[in-house]
Amino acid sequence: MATTTGQEQRKLFIETDMGSPQLLSFAVGNVAALCRRCPEKIEPNDDSAAVVETASGAIVLVVADGVGGGPMGHKASAIAVQEVSESVIASTSAGDLRPAILDGIEQANREILDLGVGAATTLAVVEIQSGAARAYQVGDSMTLIVGQRGALKWKSTAHSPVGYAVESGMLDEFDAMHHDDRHIVSNLVGCRNMRIEVGPSRLLAARDSVIVGSDGLFDNLHLEEVVRFAKSGKLVDRVERLADQATVRMIGNESDVPGKPDDLTILIYSR
C-alpha cells in the first residue's frame, strides 16, 4: 500500500508477505524493504512497516511487531505504523520531527488501548535528516548503524530482561540467543505504562547503513552476522542475504545456532 500527499511520500507494508525486497529511492538515499510472514504461518503477518519521505526531504523508517499469540497483533502493528507516519506527514516543522514522532507513538498507544482486547506491539522508528539519524524505540524491534567496513557504530537496546542483561554485561550475546526468557518483552505500545526511549542524534558517514528490524531478524541471527551480511553491497542484495539466512534458521533445528520461527521485517537505508 503506497500513498502520496503533496510532496510527502509514504509506503506502508501491512499484512504483507513479500517474496523479494523492494527498493525505494529518495533524494537523500535509498531504502530496501522486506516484510514477510513466518514460514508456514496461516494467520496474518503481525509485522508492519512504513517508509516516509517528508516535504523537507527527511526520511522516517518505522517497524512494528504485533505481539504474536495475543489478540489482533497485526492490527496493533498496523495502527502503530499508520499513526506515526500520519503524524510525521502532518507535521509543520521543517527541522524537528521529534514532537511529531512522539505524538504519533502516544496516539498509537491510546488507539491500541481503546481496542480493549489486550493487543500490543513493539515499535522502532528512525528519523534521518541533515546527515544524521535518531532512533526511537518501544520493545525489542531494534536499530543498528553500521559502517561500510563492518564497524557497529550504534545499536539500540532491546526492552526485555535478556536485552538489559546483555547491555549491562551480565549476559553475553551467544547465551542471550539461547536464553529461555529471550521472548519476554517488558515495554510495548498498547500498555498503560509504555515508555519511549529516544536515542542520540548520530551523524552518518557517506556509506553508513541504518538497519531496522523486527525480532524475526535479531532472534535468528547473531549481531555480528547481521553486520556482516548488511554492511556493503547493493541494498536489495543485503536484505535478501539477511532474509535468506534468517529463514534457514527459522526452519532448521541446529542446536548450536539460534532458530525461532517468526514474521520478519527488515529496512535498510544507505546513501
Q: pLDDT tens-digit profile of 66-91?
A: 997 777 999 999 999 999 999 999 98
> Would you call 165 exposed, middle or buried from its count of C-beta atoms within 10 A (0-12, 13-18, 19+)?
middle
By the 10 Å C-beta count (0-12 exposed, 13-18 middle, 19+ buried), 91 is classed as buried
Strand partners, 26: 29
Is it true that domain 2-270 has CATH number 3.30.450.20?
no
Is residue 232 very low, low, confident or very high in pLDDT (cuts 50, 70, 90)? very high
Q: Residue 143 in contact with residue 153, Cβ under 8 Å? A: no
Q: What residues pair up with 123 in beta bridges, in sequence order? A: 64, 138
Phi, psi of 62 (to 5 degrees): -135, 130
* pLDDT at residue number 153: 97
Task: Label residue 259 by pLDDT band (50, 70, 90).
Answer: confident
Tell the residue number behind the cell numbers 549481531, with chain if given: 223
Predicted local distance difference test score (pLDDT) of residue 186: 87
Residue 193 and residue 127 in contact, taking contact as beta carbons nearer than 8 Å:
no
| Alpha-carbon gap, residue 223 to 171, rounded angstroms | 14
Sign of CA dihedral 161, 226, 217, 127: positive
Looking at the predicted structure, is the pLDDT value of residue 48 above 80?
Answer: yes
Tens digits of residue pLDDT in 153-199: 999 999 876 666 566 777 666 665 665 556 678 899 999 999 999 99
Distance (Å, rounded) from C-alpha 172 to C-alpha 132? 30
C-alpha–C-alpha distance, residues 153 and 173, integer Å: 17
Tell me which of 48-52, 65-69, 87-91, 210-214 is least confident. Answer: 65-69
Specify the DSSP class assigned to residue 45: P
Distance spanning both ends of the chain, measured CA to CA: 24
18 backbone dihedrals φ, ψ, rounded to 5°: -85, 135
pLDDT digits (tens, 9 = 90+) for 100-135: 999 999 999 999 999 999 999 999 999 999 999 999
Q: Give the mean pLDDT of the chain.
A: 90
User: Band of the pLDDT at 210, cuts 50, 70, 90?
Assistant: very high
